[in-house]
Amino acid sequence: MTLQINITTDWDGTPGWEPLGVGLPESFLEGEPAHVLATIAMLCMQPRPKEVEPHPQALATLALYASGCAVTLSTRQFRRLERTVLQYIDVVGGEDRFIGTKNRDFASYVRNKAVERAQREKII
Protein backbone atom coordinates (compact mmCIF):
# COMPACT_ATOMS: atom_id res chain seq x y z
CA MET A 1 0.00 0.00 0.00
CA THR A 2 1.36 3.40 -1.00
CA LEU A 3 1.09 6.22 1.50
CA GLN A 4 -0.98 9.06 0.08
CA ILE A 5 0.30 12.51 0.93
CA ASN A 6 -2.48 15.05 1.34
CA ILE A 7 -1.88 18.79 1.30
CA THR A 8 -4.18 21.73 1.95
CA THR A 9 -5.20 24.65 -0.24
CA ASP A 10 -5.80 28.24 0.83
CA TRP A 11 -9.12 29.51 -0.46
CA ASP A 12 -8.54 32.80 1.34
CA GLY A 13 -5.69 33.49 -1.07
CA THR A 14 -5.83 33.27 -4.83
CA PRO A 15 -5.86 29.58 -5.77
CA GLY A 16 -3.88 28.90 -8.91
CA TRP A 17 -1.79 32.03 -8.45
CA GLU A 18 -0.02 30.68 -5.38
CA PRO A 19 2.75 28.07 -5.69
CA LEU A 20 1.03 24.81 -6.64
CA GLY A 21 1.78 21.47 -5.06
CA VAL A 22 3.93 22.60 -2.15
CA GLY A 23 4.39 19.51 0.00
CA LEU A 24 3.77 16.99 -2.77
CA PRO A 25 6.57 14.61 -3.74
CA GLU A 26 8.81 15.53 -6.68
CA SER A 27 7.44 12.48 -8.53
CA PHE A 28 3.82 13.65 -8.17
CA LEU A 29 3.25 14.11 -11.92
CA GLU A 30 4.31 10.50 -12.46
CA GLY A 31 1.34 9.25 -10.42
CA GLU A 32 -1.99 7.88 -11.61
CA PRO A 33 -3.30 10.54 -14.04
CA ALA A 34 -6.87 10.83 -12.70
CA HIS A 35 -5.53 11.38 -9.16
CA VAL A 36 -2.95 13.91 -10.36
CA LEU A 37 -5.49 15.81 -12.46
CA ALA A 38 -8.15 15.89 -9.73
CA THR A 39 -5.56 17.16 -7.24
CA ILE A 40 -4.48 19.95 -9.59
CA ALA A 41 -8.13 20.89 -10.14
CA MET A 42 -8.70 21.16 -6.38
CA LEU A 43 -5.60 23.32 -5.98
CA CYS A 44 -6.94 25.78 -8.58
CA MET A 45 -10.58 25.92 -7.49
CA GLN A 46 -12.14 28.88 -5.73
CA PRO A 47 -15.44 28.05 -3.99
CA ARG A 48 -16.53 31.70 -3.73
CA PRO A 49 -18.06 32.59 -7.13
CA LYS A 50 -17.30 36.31 -6.88
CA GLU A 51 -13.60 35.57 -6.37
CA VAL A 52 -13.12 33.09 -9.22
CA GLU A 53 -10.23 34.02 -11.52
CA PRO A 54 -10.54 32.89 -15.15
CA HIS A 55 -7.09 31.32 -15.61
CA PRO A 56 -7.11 28.98 -12.58
CA GLN A 57 -10.79 28.21 -13.28
CA ALA A 58 -9.93 27.18 -16.84
CA LEU A 59 -7.04 25.06 -15.55
CA ALA A 60 -9.32 23.32 -13.03
CA THR A 61 -11.98 22.68 -15.68
CA LEU A 62 -9.48 21.33 -18.20
CA ALA A 63 -7.96 19.10 -15.49
CA LEU A 64 -11.36 17.60 -14.71
CA TYR A 65 -12.00 17.03 -18.42
CA ALA A 66 -8.57 15.43 -18.84
CA SER A 67 -9.22 13.15 -15.85
CA GLY A 68 -11.82 11.29 -17.87
CA CYS A 69 -14.98 12.62 -16.24
CA ALA A 70 -18.22 11.62 -17.99
CA VAL A 71 -18.63 15.04 -19.61
CA THR A 72 -17.16 15.94 -22.98
CA LEU A 73 -16.47 19.35 -24.49
CA SER A 74 -17.22 20.81 -27.87
CA THR A 75 -14.28 21.88 -30.01
CA ARG A 76 -15.10 25.52 -29.22
CA GLN A 77 -15.27 24.89 -25.47
CA PHE A 78 -12.02 22.95 -25.52
CA ARG A 79 -10.13 25.56 -27.54
CA ARG A 80 -11.37 28.39 -25.31
CA LEU A 81 -10.17 26.58 -22.18
CA GLU A 82 -6.92 25.62 -23.86
CA ARG A 83 -6.20 29.23 -24.90
CA THR A 84 -6.78 30.43 -21.35
CA VAL A 85 -4.52 27.70 -19.94
CA LEU A 86 -1.81 28.57 -22.48
CA GLN A 87 -2.01 32.20 -21.30
CA TYR A 88 -1.64 30.96 -17.72
CA ILE A 89 1.41 28.90 -18.74
CA ASP A 90 2.96 32.01 -20.30
CA VAL A 91 2.41 34.03 -17.12
CA VAL A 92 3.70 31.41 -14.67
CA GLY A 93 6.62 30.64 -16.97
CA GLY A 94 7.71 34.25 -17.23
CA GLU A 95 7.18 35.96 -13.89
CA ASP A 96 9.88 35.91 -11.23
CA ARG A 97 7.40 35.08 -8.47
CA PHE A 98 6.87 31.67 -10.06
CA ILE A 99 10.55 30.70 -10.24
CA GLY A 100 11.00 27.47 -8.32
CA THR A 101 7.27 26.63 -8.32
CA LYS A 102 5.55 23.75 -10.11
CA ASN A 103 2.77 25.88 -11.60
CA ARG A 104 4.07 25.70 -15.18
CA ASP A 105 4.76 21.96 -14.95
CA PHE A 106 1.30 21.29 -13.50
CA ALA A 107 -0.46 23.43 -16.13
CA SER A 108 1.52 21.85 -18.97
CA TYR A 109 0.66 18.37 -17.65
CA VAL A 110 -3.05 19.28 -17.60
CA ARG A 111 -2.96 20.70 -21.10
CA ASN A 112 -1.11 17.68 -22.51
CA LYS A 113 -3.53 15.19 -20.91
CA ALA A 114 -6.52 17.25 -22.09
CA VAL A 115 -5.17 17.31 -25.66
CA GLU A 116 -4.75 13.51 -25.52
CA ARG A 117 -8.40 13.08 -24.54
CA ALA A 118 -9.64 15.64 -27.07
CA GLN A 119 -7.75 13.81 -29.82
CA ARG A 120 -9.20 10.45 -28.73
CA GLU A 121 -12.68 12.00 -28.86
CA LYS A 122 -11.88 13.63 -32.20
CA ILE A 123 -12.92 17.10 -31.07
CA ILE A 124 -9.55 18.47 -32.21
Tens digit of each residue's pLDDT (9 = 90 or more) over 108-120: 999 999 999 999 9
Instruction: Please enumerate in sequence order all residues whose Cβ is within 8 A of that of 122, keeping only pairs 6 or more positions apart, or say none.
Output: none
Burial 93-116 (b: 16+ CB within 10 A, else e): eeeeebeebbbbbbbbbbbebbee
| Confidence at residue 83, expressed as pLDDT on a 0 to 100 scale | 99
Q: What is the mean pLDDT of residues 84-98?
A: 96
Tens digit of each residue's pLDDT (9 = 90 or more) over 26-85: 999 999 999 999 999 999 999 898 999 999 999 999 999 999 999 999 999 999 999 999
Q: What is the mean pLDDT of residues 87-105?
A: 96
pLDDT of 2 above 70: no
Residue 71 lies in a domain: yes
Residue 45 lies in a domain: no
Decide if 63 contacts 38 (C-beta within 8 A): yes
Residue 90 lies in a domain: yes
* Number of separate domains in the chain: 1
Residue 17 lies in a domain: no
Residue 124 lies in a domain: yes
Segment among 5-9, 86-90, 108-112 with least mean pLDDT: 5-9
Residue 110 lies in a domain: yes
Residue 3 lies in a domain: no
- Which residues form the domain of 69? 54-124
